[in-house]
Amino acid sequence: MHQFLQENSYPKELRESIISLPREEGWIAPYMYNYKGIWIPPHHLYGALRCQQHFQAQDSDIILCTLPKCGTTWLKALVFALTTRKQYSHETQSPLLTTNPHGLIPLMENIYSRENSPNFPLNNGVRLLSTHLPHALLQKSVVESKCKLIYLCRNQKDTLVSLWHYANKSRGEVLGLGAIPFPEAFNKYRRGASVYGPFWDHMLGYWKESLENPSKVLFLKYEEIKEEPEVQLRRIAAFLGCPFSEEEDEGGVAGGIVRLCSFESLSNLEVNKTGKGPVIPIGNNTYFRKGEVGDWRNHLTDEMATRLDQIVEEKFKGTGLKL
Ligand code: A3P
């Protein structure tokens, strides 16, 4: 089992940090801890703490911010393909064909759980990074620099279902633990005790920031990308200051990126069918389940769906955010 998933092998620094924190049974680790209001697995907390200490944002950084299971893998693929499109001008050259998107855009909490001074790869002179941390816990230099943040959120009911499947697979493959019964997962989720939850605080934090500072934070929705992928890709390109040129439009470059990053295309690549993640050895195929909108209907009772809708209605009231 991975070192950070075994409590007795935690580094002293982590043991000291978590000793007084509230904890409960985890989704993707035996326990998760409540750190400054968010529920976080210990290996990510360790990475987040070290990231706080050592990471220095640069103005040119692009940081993708998501809750787990909101479409992080897809966003990583789209942003990678978009920002490196001149480097890999022919689709057959794309590193996405041989590397899982998580291997191209690292999750900072994961990387810092392994090293203090990681050498992040440069793509076209830019560091492409990702985090699951809420806006309130972002490192000071991230907030104060001119680096760009792209947030992706997803309907809360589909996110719960996706998280439940992922957690169960991860528990079986990596932890050797049994599945979480769905009603239990539902209860944890609606209490806010999901991975990096409560989900409403996470979404609202970035939503408010995107309204106050639209040139710093772009707020995207999974469902909107599903509906009009090219339109959303162009939004990302405009936000990052790299819109498609006329020549690129004539060559159908945006459409090519959308196709390359589609669920069908990525999930059928050998690397995503048989490869494994670099930090936690879970199969890359775990990141590609159905990729649909509305799968919650196959899992939630009407009562469960209503309860989650009520939470969103209450928490988002007056904010303008709808899921
Ligand atoms: P489902 O479990 O509903 O299928 P994350 O990348 O944040 O871990 O989120 C995973 C979810 O995004 C999974 O949802 C997965 O199938 C979906 N997904 C992964 N790649 C995708 C893609 N290229 N297009 C659409 N959805 C994708």
Domain-located, residue 170: yes
What residues are paired with 126 via a beta bridge? 123
Domain-located, residue 230: yes
Q: Is the CB of 269 under 6 A from ligand 1?
A: no
Give the CATH number for residue 83.
3.40.50.300
Active site residue ranges: 132
From 223, 262, 284, 287, mutation site for ligand 1 pocket: most ligand atoms within 8 A of C-beta: 287
How far CA 83 is from CA of 122, 123, 153, 195, in Å, comes to 11, 8, 21, 29
> How would DSSP label each residue in 231-299?
HHHHHHHHHTT-PPPHHHHHTTHHHHHHHHTSHHHHHTSHHHHH-B-SSS--BGGGG-S---S-GGGGT
Shortest-distance Cα residue to atom 22 of ligand 1: 263
From 162, 261, 264, 292, mutation site for ligand 1 pocket: most ligand atoms within 8 A of C-beta: 162
From 72, 230, 273, 288, mutation site for ligand 1 pocket: most ligand atoms within 8 A of C-beta: 288
Domain-located, residue 208: yes
Domain-located, residue 322: no
Handedness of CA 13, 19, 20, 23 (dihedral sign): positive
> Domain total for the chain?
1
* Structure tokens given for 247: 């020549």
Which structural domain range is residue 208 located in? 2-316
How confident is the model at residue 183, as a pLDDT?
Answer: 98
How confident is the model at residue 3, as a pLDDT?
Answer: 61
Atom of ligand 1 nearest to the CA of 162: 2
Shortest-distance Cα residue to atom 14 of ligand 1: 291
Domain-located, residue 323: no
pLDDT in tens, the chain (323 residues): 566 566 667 788 788 888 899 999 999 998 999 999 999 999 899 999 999 999 999 999 999 999 999 999 999 999 999 999 999 988 789 999 999 999 999 999 999 988 889 999 898 889 999 999 999 999 999 999 999 999 999 999 999 999 999 999 999 888 888 999 999 999 999 999 999 999 999 999 999 999 999 999 999 999 999 999 999 999 999 999 999 999 999 999 999 999 999 999 999 999 999 998 766 778 999 999 999 999 999 999 999 999 999 999 999 999 999 99
Shortest-distance Cα residue to atom 24 of ligand 1: 263
Dist CA 147 CA 128 (whole Å): 10
Shortest-distance Cα residue to atom 23 of ligand 1: 263
Q: Is the CB of 289 under 6 A from ligand 1?
A: yes
Domain-located, residue 103: yes
Q: Is the CB of 290 under 6 A from ligand 1?
A: yes
pTM for the whole structure: 0.96
How confident is the model at residue 4, as a pLDDT?
Answer: 58
